[in-house]
Structure 1
Amino acid sequence: MDNPKKMLLQAANQLYKQKRYNDCLTLLNDNAAEFLDNETFFKIKGLALSELNEHNESVQCFVQAIKLNPLDPLPYVNIGNSLAKNLQFEEAEKYFNLALTVDPAYMEAIVGLGVAAFQKMDYEACERHFQQALDLSPNHVMVMTNLGNCYSVQGRYEEALTLLNKVIARDKGNSLARTNRGLIKLGKGNFESAWEDYEYRWDSGNFMANRFQELPRWSGPTPKSQNVLVWAEQGIGDEIMFGSIFNDLKDLKEKFFVECDPRLYQIFAASFPHLEFIPKGLVKNITPIQSQIPLASLGGIFRADKKRFTRPLGGFLTIGAHQLPNVTEESLAALPRPWIGVSWESYALTQNFRGRKSISAEEFSVLTSQLPGSIINLQFPNPHQHEKKSEQPIPEKVITLPGLNLKNDMAGLAALLKKLDHVVTIGNSVAHLCGAFGIRTDVLLPNVPDWRWEHTGEKSVWYESIKLRRNKLANDWSALLNQVATEIGAAR
């Protein structure tokens, strides 16, 4: 390769490393005619396209690189990674295995198989692949971190901590290891040391961007009057849960502007009149801000240990004067009691997380078919419906009331919840809403729950009215569903 071509590819690769993917593609496309027989050109272009989620075009580039050099395992791995980003895990595995056909000890392919198996919740295969990778490179930090995460989602927390501590001893600032260790500590209730690790979530690749970094971070109460922005992160359930801290801000010198999901604006404004709430997307319109803090980081300041958690009777939210729509109220009143609300599915962003938390409508029918009275649908419409070929199934006996938008009308949903006699839900945003309003609720948790519900116990550290019902089996909810149905029936 002549020197000008080499320099151009180096420049494109540098743009890629700087995450300037569009600039990288512009440079490559403007000079494409000179590189039709250059595999490096197609590799860099494919990687940039993959980062922009242009998966089909990305795969085409890697295929072209393979045609130019079929004995290079890297393009096969790149195709696998691009397919995995597009949630095509089984197809991804085929290309990782093709890479291993070329080079049986190719580390990136073995790791790719482990990641794909993790996303498919095949933890036995995941562990096998990562162990194979560690046999090749015993102190590989990324592989140890991934294996630790594999242990963690199986509830093997001590094994996970052993690996993560080993990683952090070698690389104190390893964000993924610190974040995962923080999540385990939060689940164990070790809040004193957990929040520091959890602050690494911004660089771990698991969370959204760390915003408003041009402003100083607010680190806690001061005697100085200033405007502080508390900005939203993660999902609506977390906004509700960390909203339990908002009353701690009441008597401070600072004035707080709190960003929130627009669906929560009415509820939060009625519940916390001492705070100024701003729906997402409108933060730029507010008074000049002197400092900022992400919502979950309030935990490290105000919930540094279990003694500082408050669980007020009756919850901490109010709907003010909001009422149910007349048609919803009338339809509910016509139904026999008890009125039992249910929700069975999670809409977490990743399939893996959703799969662990959710219960299929068919299996959830084990519960609903036995419950007395009227079973009221509290389930949000599925925002991931495009991933399924059929309409969202509904469990047996579940009634969807007219006139209420379960996804977008949080105040209306809360008004309905307050009229119900009981709620049974998985650990989703409905559970958080019930706890925040002090509604008696059974929350069904998988055998390995996420940190918000801790790893053990029937009581929630965040909510007084919730009873945590923990499944003992990994892939079978029937025993727990039968038990809950029997207990509710006996109580009526």
Structure 2
Amino acid sequence: MSKPQLHHLFLKAEKARKSANFAECKRLCEAILRINKDEMGAVETLALCALETKHFAQAYDAARKLTEAEPLNVNGAMIASVALMNTSQDELAVHLLEDQISRTPDVPALFFNLHSAYAALGLNQKALEVAMKAIQLVPTNADAYNNLGASLHACARQSDAVIAFQTAVDLNPKHYTARLNLANAISGDDEKIVSEIEYVVREAKGVLSERALVGALHNTAFPYLRLGNLEKGWERLEYGFSPLIDSNRGRRPQRTFKEPRWTGEPLHGKTLLVWREQGLGDEIMFASMLDELRALDGKVIVECEPRLVSVFQRSFPEFEVRAEIYRAIFPFDSPNKDFNVQIPLGSLAALYRRKIEDFERSKPYWLPEPVKQADYAQRLQEACGSKLRVGLCWRSAVVSPTRSTSYTMLSDWADLLRRDDVCVVNLQYGPCEEELQQVEAELGCKVIRWPDTDLQRDLEAVAAIIANLDVVCSVGTAVAQISGAVGTKTLLCADSYNWTSFGTQGYPFQPSMQLVVGDEKSSMKSAVDKSIRNI
């Protein structure tokens, strides 16, 4: 076959690919390569075709062949790195891209992909460095500034991230991804956040992927809730269960059911399954709505975190309570077939908490185990006598750059620990003994704790201790939620008013909880000082 004929075949293959006729594209490319195995244009088109049809191994193999034949052709590294990242081989993608950059150091697209690979690995500082290099190459490129903003946000440099995203939008007002990122990075102006996201949802249909648009709709839930627009907020929160939402961004677990979603209709003797979602703290908070189900005309089954089974069964004896169980892989379905309708625990809010006045029905529900409660009553009497008993939880067990601003250090509570009229009781779960010993040595104080009490696994013990305290001081952890559910006075320290305030300055889900927000923006120490004064 002559070169003009081969070129004609190649043009047909390219046309087939661009019109999404991938089978024809593949057939034509393979025909070309049977005639001339070194025709790299066909190899590249075949690699792109495989990538677009999600045949990532084939895309990678073809792309590597392209790079071996044409080391300065960056398309081989670009295609291969995308294939690797789509199969969670991000570290290999980093090595491949860095190798290509050593040969072709002035190609911005290589740095864009390298940024994505580092970000996927959680190497946020490295991703930030790569984003800066890309901007040096293309200082007026909106994509480069969008990547920079993403890395700054991941490194907890929120104000800098806002500037970067805004720059991307200024450079390209129709860069809808940058607009969404800007909205997510803004803090303190929920009306602007909602306005920006709603604009993108209206304007970007057909431009952004359905996945991006569903994610945007879900992201409006929290500003709507912070503004007190509960109906809109709960409606948008339901997008968190869409299969298009990344599991680390939406509501979890994303279980699937053949049984229909319950929408509040009478049961008429049928069985309703209420299943847990989110983390432990959210589950305990949402469980305050289970009281609304006591009067239903049917059976209620509650599936919860295993540590909560005994608690919920005691507190809600009308229900059948069991540990959650579902298939750990897709389709994440339930082996139990003993229910007719189902609803995730948090979705009860759209039925029973549609306006702020509905929270007036919220009340403590957690009944501590009587024997444990009596045991810790005696222990605390021996340890504290007549002093004020204050439980303290100063951080989560999981701390990351983006979460650390919401937590405190034990040393931040020095003024409380030094008080002679207070007996401080440790409620911090997870490894913390070294912190406690260090602060005790520095301040000459004593924090009450017992070596036989596992505050992480034994939630019955945690609740029994809390039931015998005068007040609990905590940051946003499950400990605060347990305290609120038990009904003990709880001072919840926060750096801002979150969505769970619903536009108020309180904590409507838990009536015994007082939200203490620092005077200075993002100042947890200020919130700590206010809490200590309120004890």
Q: Shorter-normalised TM-score: what interval?
A: 0.7 to 0.9
Amino acid aligned to 2:514: K
Which moved further from structure 2: 44-53 or 469-478? 44-53
Change over 3 Å in CA distance of 1:312–1:33 after alignment to 2: closer
Q: Deviations over 1:266-302 (max 9, x none)?
A: 1111111222333233573423443332221111112
1:111 maps onto 2:143 in alignment = no
Which moved further from structure 2: 47-56 or 261-270? 47-56
Aligned partners of 2:308 and 2:459 also within 8 Å: yes
Amino acid aligned to 2:51: N
CA drift of 1:265 comes to 1.4
SS in 2 for 1:401: coil
Cα distance in 2, alignment partners of residues 39 and 393 from structure 1: 55
Correspondent of 2:189 among 156, 159, 164: 156
Change over 3 Å in CA distance of 1:322–1:2 after alignment to 2: farther
Which moved further from structure 2: 46-55 or 269-278? 46-55
Aligned partners of 2:60 and 2:84 also within 8 Å: no
Which moved further from structure 2: 191-200 or 281-290? 281-290
CA drift of 1:105 comes to 2.6
Correspondent of 1:465 among 512, 515, 525: 512
SS in 1 for 2:262: coil
Which moved further from structure 2: 366-375 or 403-412? 366-375
Change over 3 Å in CA distance of 1:371–1:260 after alignment to 2: farther
Alignment of 1:34-45 (within 5 A): 36=68, 37=71, 39-45=74-80
1:437 maps onto 2:486 in alignment = yes
**Alignment correspondent of 1:417:** 466
CA drift of 1:80 comes to 1.9
Correspondent of 2:498 among 450, 460, 465: 450
CA drift of 1:360 comes to 2.0
1:12 maps onto 2:50 in alignment = yes
For normalisation by structure 2, the TM-score amounts to: 0.79
1:300 maps onto 2:346 in alignment = no
Cα distance in 2, alignment partners of residues 200 and 378 from structure 1: 35
Change over 3 Å in CA distance of 1:171–1:221 after alignment to 2: farther
CA drift of 1:214 comes to 4.3
Correspondent of 2:236 among 197, 221, 237: 197
SS in 1 for 2:220: helix
**Alignment correspondent of 1:19:** none
1:70 maps onto 2:105 in alignment = yes
Amino acid aligned to 1:308: D
Cα distance in 1, alignment partners of residues 64 and 534 from structure 2: 69
**Alignment correspondent of 2:26:** none
Q: Deviations over 1:182-236 (max 9, x none)?
A: 2012123221222112112234431246321544322222344433333322111
Q: Deviations over 1:110-143 (max 9, x none)?
A: 1111112222332221111111101111132222
Correspondent of 2:285 among 231, 236, 241: 241
CA drift of 1:150 comes to 1.7
CA drift of 1:416 comes to 0.9
Cα distance in 1, alignment partners of residues 391 and 434 from structure 2: 21
CA drift of 1:39 comes to 4.1
1:319 maps onto 2:363 in alignment = no
**Alignment correspondent of 1:399:** 448
Change over 3 Å in CA distance of 1:34–1:100 after alignment to 2: closer
1:182 maps onto 2:226 in alignment = no
Cα distance in 2, alignment partners of residues 10 and 171 from structure 1: 26
**Alignment correspondent of 2:117:** 82
Amino acid aligned to 2:56: C
Change over 3 Å in CA distance of 1:282–1:103 after alignment to 2: closer
Larger radius of gyration: 2
CA drift of 1:11 comes to 4.4
Aligned partners of 1:312 and 1:464 also within 8 Å: yes
Q: Deviations over 1:228-274 (max 9, x none)?
A: 33332211111111101112122223433332111111111111122
Q: Deviations over 1:459-490 (max 9, x none)?
A: 321111111111121343444433332342xx
Change over 3 Å in CA distance of 1:322–1:35 after alignment to 2: farther
Cα distance in 1, alignment partners of residues 78 and 300 from structure 2: 48
Cα distance in 2, alignment partners of residues 169 and 406 from structure 1: 48
Alignment of 1:199-218 (within 5 A): 199-202=238-241, 203-205=244-246, 206-207=249-250, 208=252, 210-218=254-262
Cα distance in 2, alignment partners of residues 286 and 166 from structure 1: 43
Which moved further from structure 2: 369-378 or 392-401? 392-401
How much is the aligned-residue C-alpha RMSD, in angstroms? Answer: 3.0
Cα distance in 1, alignment partners of residues 224 and 347 from structure 2: 15
Cα distance in 2, alignment partners of residues 288 and 245 from structure 1: 23
Structure 2 unpaired stretches of 5+: 1-38, 328-333
Which moved further from structure 2: 64-73 or 114-123? 64-73
**Alignment correspondent of 1:20:** none
1:94 maps onto 2:129 in alignment = yes
SS in 2 for 1:59: helix
1:167 maps onto 2:200 in alignment = yes
**Alignment correspondent of 1:290:** 340
Correspondent of 2:163 among 105, 128, 139: 128
Higher RCO (CA < 8 A, seq sep 6+): 1
Cα distance in 2, alignment partners of residues 171 and 219 from structure 1: 31
Amino acid aligned to 1:338: L
Cα distance in 2, alignment partners of residues 371 and 311 from structure 1: 38
Aligned partners of 2:191 and 2:223 also within 8 Å: no
SS in 2 for 1:424: strand
Which moved further from structure 2: 358-367 or 222-231? 222-231
Aligned partners of 1:311 and 1:463 also within 8 Å: no
Cα distance in 1, alignment partners of residues 61 and 377 from structure 2: 61
1:372 maps onto 2:405 in alignment = no
Cα distance in 2, alignment partners of residues 6 and 480 from structure 1: 59
Structure 1 unpaired stretches of 5+: 17-22
For normalisation by structure 1, the TM-score amounts to: 0.85
Aligned partners of 2:362 and 2:509 also within 8 Å: no
Cα distance in 2, alignment partners of residues 194 and 475 from structure 1: 24
CA drift of 1:164 comes to 2.2
SS in 2 for 1:474: coil
